[in-house]
Structure 1
Amino acid sequence: MPDDINALNVAEEIAGRLLKERPELAGRHFSILVTNQDGEEVGRVSLDVLH
């Protein structure tokens, strides 16, 4: 992704699709970890917050 904000936005989109296709994942404390090219954490998108 061109920047951290864009990467986090894409992670939110992916999380939303995951929950739509696999609603049983909600409430199980799963997150999508977003890292930069150096492997440093940029942020996390919790599947619990989206449902």
Structure 2
Amino acid sequence: MRRYHFDLVDADTVTEASGALLDNDDQAGKVARKLAQEVREQRPELVGHGYAVLVRSDSGEEIWRAAIDRPGGGEGTGAHSAESTKVSLADAFRPKIT
């Protein structure tokens, strides 16, 4: 397993939410898309402002980017595992974003 870091980013700001141990990059991309959907639903005030969920490897390499502004939107490679995870980006960012 590898550690992946999930950040909420816009043009000027990076806010780190959490890290998770996942099997591979494909699973990290699936989690990023799910988290972007959660943010759209739970933090609608962020929609339309260019936010995205950024996934980085432990070494800092960008693995995936899922746009908050568009449902199902994301950039990356490969097919995604159906395995779920308990990462909640919307809750993790609640106290950090004004």
TM-score bucket (shorter structure):
0.7 to 0.9
Q: Which runs of 5+ in 1 are unaligned?
A: none
Q: CA RMSD in A?
A: 1.4
Determine which structure has the larger helix proportion and give its number. 1
Task: Establish whether residue 20 from structure 1 lines up as the match of residue 41 from structure 2.
Answer: yes
Determine which structure has the larger strand proportion and give its number. 2
Give the ranges of 4+ consecutive aligned residues of structure 1 lying more than 3 Å apart after TM superposition.
Answer: none
Larger radius of gyration: 2
Identity %: 33
Number of aligned residues: 51
Q: TM-score, normalised by structure 2?
A: 0.48
Q: Which runs of 5+ in 2 are unaligned?
A: 1-21, 73-98
